[in-house]
Structure 1
Amino acid sequence: MHDRPITHLRHVDIAVQDYEKQIAFYEEKWGLTKVGSDGDVTYFAAEGSPEQYVIRVRRSQEKRLDLVSYGAADRESVDALAERLASDGVHLVGEPDVLQTPGGGYGFRFFDVEGRTVEVSTEVAARQHRRIEEREDIPVRLSHVVLNSPEPEKLLAWYERYLDFRLTDTNVHPRLGGIMWFLRCNPQHHSMAIARCPHVSLHHASFEMRGLDEYMRGSGRLMRDGVHKVWGPGRHRAGDNTFTYFHDPNGNTMEYTTELETLDEDSWHPHLYSTEDPETSDQWGTSNPMNDFVSREMFNDPDRGLFAAPPV
């Protein structure tokens, strides 16, 4: 059994009302590859990633975050996590079993403390992938996911306790206190983060580009195409990664990024970064200023799928 129950982020699954526009957005604008569809569910891979898919889109009358999926090292880790969660009263959607999604594997789903569906899996077959070439402005892989929470300290404690995520850094506001917590499950600065928000929802999903030039080319291409830019281009302090945030056709925020920091976990000590310092939001000073309007654009709509597992 692996020491940590979670090894990495696999995919983020969403349900949307305007399904056809969402499919066209990922395929024609965002740069993902459609790898499967049954008419009501479509799977998208990133060309540089061995994951079978990094985003799944489902047609639905209610917009929601269907689930967030993480990898585990082996079956023993999956079984031990399921046993631990169940013994502490965490609601399991099902017991560990063979997965029926592309690539197969072995895993299970459960609800986090706020009712999101989380999946943990292992033995998923690797997808044939390729090296992203110079100046090719498409995502290499899924980088991280950020969750909105009205009780972020409680959610942080839950992920630390049950999934062994570790706090890397925190952005703090002079009046509100902590407003964003960056969490890791491997040496990557963060695979997930938690943002303070009035309601439970998806804050954003982030996609890694090949390098600075590809990141800028992709950001500029979307801006020229009239995709609504929320914030960027710039470079954050926590994680030292670049950012440009856009709205997809259903109002979810999606990010292009690159150069996310890799840590020496043995020597790392979490920082507190004040939002009063403009370099906390953007070290370069090139993005539109972070303000209440930009923050509200990332609040998203309240999630309608809490404590209700997606049908597939």
Structure 2
Amino acid sequence: MSKAVKLIEYAIAGNLTEQNFAVINEEVPGSETLKKDQLLVRVMDLSADPHMRMYVSKGSYYSFPLDQAISGIGVGIVEASTSDDFKPGDAVSNPNMAWANYSVVHAATSMKLDTANFPLNAHLGVLGMTSFTAYLGLALAKPKRGETIVVSAAGGAVGQIVIQLAKELGLYVVAISSSNQKNQYAESLGANASINYKTTNDMAAALQTVAPKGIDIFWDNVGGELLDLILTKFNKFGRAIVCGAISQYSADGSEVYRLKNVQNIITSSVSLIGFLFSDYMDTHYYTDFIAKFTTLVNEGKIKYKLDVVDGIEKAPRAFIDLFGSANFGKRIIHVADP
């Protein structure tokens, strides 16, 4: 039998609970059920990502179907294949891996992984989507040495990589996170200053203290009020790299924060740069990223904190906790060992 995490009820506004999910037993798909160019994968690790919050809400631009296993980026070992490009025993990643012990995926969207030199879960973390997101976003920001960057959710999966890359590029780095522990970690990665937003009563004053020369780049993982405030702090030709909006994912239409300082985008000539990493997978940005990060990891020059939860049955809680500042680092659900 295979355990699977299904969505049984859409979440309403901020009310996401374990009752929205069910962990059920189901038959393992047989190899004879595979269509052409499909793979049966034994799932090893799954990536829990904040943007998936939108998929468990009704009326989103994409919502998971009810009573089916939810899916996301995952890695595993091929058990059976009807593709000439993959064989049993291959380690693969896929962006549509079922949250289950076994998943049927398309060969065309799967990627073979190097497990001889790197652990399997590295391809969900330091060699995966989160690091590529950090690398790509900074490339799109076109940073200049000596500029000031403010990184929100600095203790998270993407933020920890942004800090290190920004320091390598010669930027002055300010980290914002939800705890002193996360800020201490951010400073150990190279952040010049940090703000604990949960214990800071006046964010505007705090930003003025740690970034007295103004802000050139804002790495936005949270959206909402913080983005609105930063719009008033930008230097001329500032850039907001809009990577995520975790503060807004749980809001319904009436609760979504409406930006008030839009005029500052005009007066400071600010660029808001949104992007999806998947749009750049077939570009030089991705090949350059793989080459750079393979070297950095091999040489031990990049630090990366994982937050691993063991067991598919714990997946719903592991996902929900992403929205309460409980996780520290890249949240991964470990399903099985190879």
Kindly name which structure, 1 or 2, has the bigger radius of gyration based on alpha carbons: 2
- TM-score, normalised with respect to structure 1: 0.27
- TM-score, normalised with respect to structure 2: 0.25
More helix by proportion, 1 or 2?
Answer: 2
